[in-house]
């Protein structure tokens, strides 16, 4: 039996058997872009080692507010901004960037104090980063991780099947597998949100394919809601730092069973299959998991679930695309830009003619 006979490449393209209920789409009110709208607490922050940083002329908050002042002291937990008549203490979780005049970035600060995605409406077009790096959080219990990342893991539905995905930017950019969306532009994304009366499913039908690669089996999508709103996101880790045997977990929609959790370990951090490298894991994956995230126990994405070996006697042989390949794909999105005039854009090679056959010509 050849490897091609046992590889289930279309792991996540699960045929739908029934229409999922349409939920009311949540919208959020546009916050007033003023300093007061930032609602910045000035209460005492956790103790942290302080380091003096070069003054920055502009402090950009994650809600879009820009403070023209100097960041006089930067610590792991807070940034102190000199307003002239008082010093304002701002949590690092509220700051996107510290900018040094008009000449560029002095340093990047994110909600996890380690390089957030740019919360700019034109982040895609101007080449600014669409994802945030992991901040090296301590490992957490599974229930704590699910509470932290659950709203960022989505369902991606097409007219012929469904898969999973995860949001990387608060403006609605998300990652899934190319084979989940291959051959169609008619997509629906379902976001699962906590509500006072339980769980709410919000459906979004205006989905734009930003970039896609059949070779890498990756696709970058953009949710375009009817009204402006922000989405929960997950951080991307460093797959080079994976350790064989470390615990991992996957969240997705296997066999259409929404928001399912499976756990396992890293069986091998770099496995070569059909010319591509994957993270091999024992976490159970099934059709419907494709495009969903594989997390470490700090709740950081380490891979994109893509395929498994399905053969008699084969158990626990699942594979995820390393997150470093995902980051390279996002950073090079212009090279993989989706051609809106051709839903099957990309190179396609036809089988050579057999002996005796003649090549036809266009009229």
Active site residues: 179, 217, 290
**Is 109 within 8 Å of 122 (Cβ atoms)?**
no
Dihedral-angle region of residue 322 (phi above 0 means left; psi in -120 to 50 means alpha; beta otherwise):
beta
Name the strands in the sheet holding 58-61, side by side, starting at the edge strand that comes first in the sequence: 66-68, 58-61, 95-99, 105-108
Compute the residue count for the chain. 363
Spatial distance between the Cα atoms of 213 and 219, rounded to a whole number of angstroms: 6
User: Quick one: the chain helix, strand, coil %, rounded to 5?
Assistant: 10, 35, 50
Q: How far is CA 78 from the centre of its chain?
A: 26
Do residues 217 and 177 make contact, with C-beta atoms less than 8 angstroms apart? Answer: yes
> What does residue 93 show for φ and ψ, rounded to 5 degrees?
-65, -20
What is the rounded distance in angstroms from the CA atom of residue 71 to the CA atom of residue 94? 14
Q: Measuring CA to CA, which residue among 215, 198, 219, 201 is closest to residue 153? A: 201
Q: Phi/psi class of residue 84: alpha, beta or left (left: φ > 0; alpha: ψ in -120 to 50)?
A: left
Number of helical H runs and strand E runs in the chain: 4, 22
- Residues with Cβ within 8 Å of 241's Cβ and at least 6 positions away in sequence, in order, are none
Cβ-based burial of 39 (10 A; exposed 0-12, middle 13-18, buried ≥19): exposed
């Amino acid at each position: 039996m050849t490897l091609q006979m046992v590889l289930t490449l279309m792991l996540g393209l699960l045929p739908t058997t029934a229409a999922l209920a349409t939920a009311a789409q949540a919208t959020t009110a546009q916050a007033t872009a003023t300093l007061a709208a930032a609602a910045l607490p000035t209460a005492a922050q956790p103790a942290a080692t302080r380091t003096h940083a070069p003054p920055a002329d502009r402090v950009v908050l994650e809600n879009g507010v820009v403070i023209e002042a100097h960041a006089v002291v930067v610590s792991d937990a807070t940034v102190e901004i000199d307003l002239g008549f008082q010093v304002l203490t701002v949590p690092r979780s509220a700051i996107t960037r510290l900018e040094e005049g008009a000449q560029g970035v002095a340093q990047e600060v994110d909600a996890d104090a380690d390089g957030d995605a740019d919360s700019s409406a034109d982040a895609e077009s101007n080449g600014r980063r669409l994802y945030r790096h992991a901040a090296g959080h301590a490992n957490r219990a599974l229930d704590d991780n699910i509470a932290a990342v659950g709203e960022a893991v989505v369902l991606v539905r097409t007219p012929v099947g469904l898969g999973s995905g995860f949001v990387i930017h608060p403006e609605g950019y998300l990652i899934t597998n190319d084979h989940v969306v291959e051959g169609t532009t008619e997509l629906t994304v379902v976001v699962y949100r906590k509500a006072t009366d339980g769980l709410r499913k919000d459906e979004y039908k205006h989905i734009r394919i930003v970039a896609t690669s059949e070779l890498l089996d990756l696709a970058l999508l953009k949710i375009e809601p009817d009204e402006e709103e922000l989405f929960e996101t997950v951080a991307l880790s460093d797959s080079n730092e994976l350790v064989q045997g470390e615990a991992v977990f996957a969240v997705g929609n296997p066999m259409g069973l929404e928001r399912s959790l499976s756990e396992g370990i890293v069986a091998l951090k770099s496995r070569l299959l059909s010319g591509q490298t994957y993270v091999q894991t024992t976490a159970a994956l099934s059709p419907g998991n494709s495009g969903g995230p594989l997390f470490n126990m700090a709740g950081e994405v380490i891979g994109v679930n893509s395929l498994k070996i399905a053969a008699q006697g084969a158990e626990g042989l699942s594979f995820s695309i390393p997150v470093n390949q995902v980051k390279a794909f996002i950073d090079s999105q212009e090279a993989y830009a989706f051609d809106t005039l051709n839903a099957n854009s990309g190179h396609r090679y036809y089988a050579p003619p057999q002996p005796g056959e003649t090549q036809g010509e266009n009229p």
